[in-house]
């Protein structure tokens, strides 16, 4: 998959503090690049092998981190023609590869659970969830037929 991050997508290394009684996972401060306001924070689970997406938010900025398991995020760059390898950017996030993925509005994204039985991610969204501000497409949508999920 493409190693070039599409415009409007950033990957920020995050700090994880290991302590004897449990770890602290930093995620987002209002002074961080990628912070676009606070609408809500929520956790989402994705089961092993399951894929959620394709989804494009029209106004919401996503700030995603994985705290349990392993999640593959796939971003589709609509500016790149179908069939070109850099059309898709993918990254696997997990506690040992602890980054925040910031996705600006207007970008198609999907994600897959890679660990069994379940994976947990957090989204710190710039606005509250509103189904009317997103566009959804099934995994079988022809515009994404050149991406093959493993």
Contact 50, 112 (CB under 8 A): yes
pLDDT tens by residue, 38-61: 999 999 999 999 999 999 999 999
117: cis peptide before it, omega within 30°? yes
Where would I find the H helices in 51-140?
Answer: none
CATH number belonging to the domain at 9-144, selected among 3.30.70.260, 2.60.120.10, 3.40.190.10, 2.40.30.20: 2.60.120.10
- The rounded mean pLDDT for the chain is 93
CA 73 to CA 120: how far, in whole Å?
13
Confidence grade of residue 2 (pLDDT, cut at 50, 70, 90): low
Is residue 65 predicted with pLDDT exceeding 80? yes
Q: Averaged over 19-26, what is the pLDDT? A: 92
Strands 134-136 and 71-76 come out as unpaired
Residue carrying the six token digits 């409007």? 8
Is the pTM higher than 0.85? The answer reads yes
pLDDT tens by residue, 74-114: 999 888 877 777 799 999 999 999 999 999 999 999 999 99
The number of C-alpha atoms within 13 Å of 70 and in the hemisphere containing its C-beta is 10
Cβ within 8 Å of residue 86, ≥6 positions away: 2, 3, 4, 77, 80
- pLDDT > 90: what percent of the chain? 85
Q: Averaged over 21-33, what is the pLDDT? A: 93
Q: Domain limits of the chain?
A: 9-144
């Amino acid at each position: 998959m493409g190693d070039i991050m599409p415009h409007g997508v950033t990957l920020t290394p995050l700090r994880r503090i290991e302590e004897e009684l449990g770890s602290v996972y930093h995620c987002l401060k209002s002074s961080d690049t990628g912070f676009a306001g606070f609408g809500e924070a929520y956790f989402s689970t994705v089961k092993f092998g399951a894929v959620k997406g394709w989804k494009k938010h029209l106004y919401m900025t996503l700030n995603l981190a994985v705290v349990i398991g392993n999640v593959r995020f796939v971003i589709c760059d609509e500016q790149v023609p179908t069939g070109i390898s850099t059309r898709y950017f993918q990254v696997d996030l997990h506690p040992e590869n602890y980054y925040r993925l910031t996705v600006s509005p207007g970008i198609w994204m999907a994600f897959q659970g890679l660990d069994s039985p379940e994976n947990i991610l957090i989204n710190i969204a710039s606005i509250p969830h509103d189904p009317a501000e997103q566009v959804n497409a099934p995994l079988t949508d022809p515009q994404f037929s050149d991406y093959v999920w493993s």
